[in-house]
Amino acid sequence: MQIHPDDADRLGLSEGTPAKVASRVGEVAIDVEITDGIRPGVVSIPHGFGQNMPGVQLRVAQEYRGVNTNVLTDEQFYDLVSGNIALNGVPVTVTAIA
């Protein structure tokens, strides 16, 4: 998860340590990457890998480290124009894992 240095400091996060990212419907544990290439108040989680849940048949996505960001996607958070579930801009909280 990429996070701005100011947010990392405020939340007590360190480079390479795990953090919990939670939405209304789910949570994931992911390593922290601190970068000023992301805006304060925003986190970025690369999507596509870490698909290791039961029944998933995505061999390549299972082989690479990452988290399944689909567990954070909220069926009640959708794009008003298209009516599709919003996959970006999902409200989350971030906390350090002790």
Query: What pLDDT digit, counting tens, does each position of 4-21 carry?
Result: 999 999 999 999 999 999
pTM, two decimals, is 0.79
pLDDT of residue 56: 60
Cα separation of 6 and 66, whole Å?
24
Contacts of residue 65, defined as CB under 8 A and 6 or more positions apart, other chains included, come to 49, 50
- Output the pLDDT for position 44: 94
- Residue 3 contacts residue 43 (beta carbons within 8 Å): yes
Helices (H), the chain: 5-11, 59-63
Given this model, what pLDDT does residue 20 score?
Answer: 97
| All domains in the chain, ordered by first residue | 2-96 (2.40.40.20)
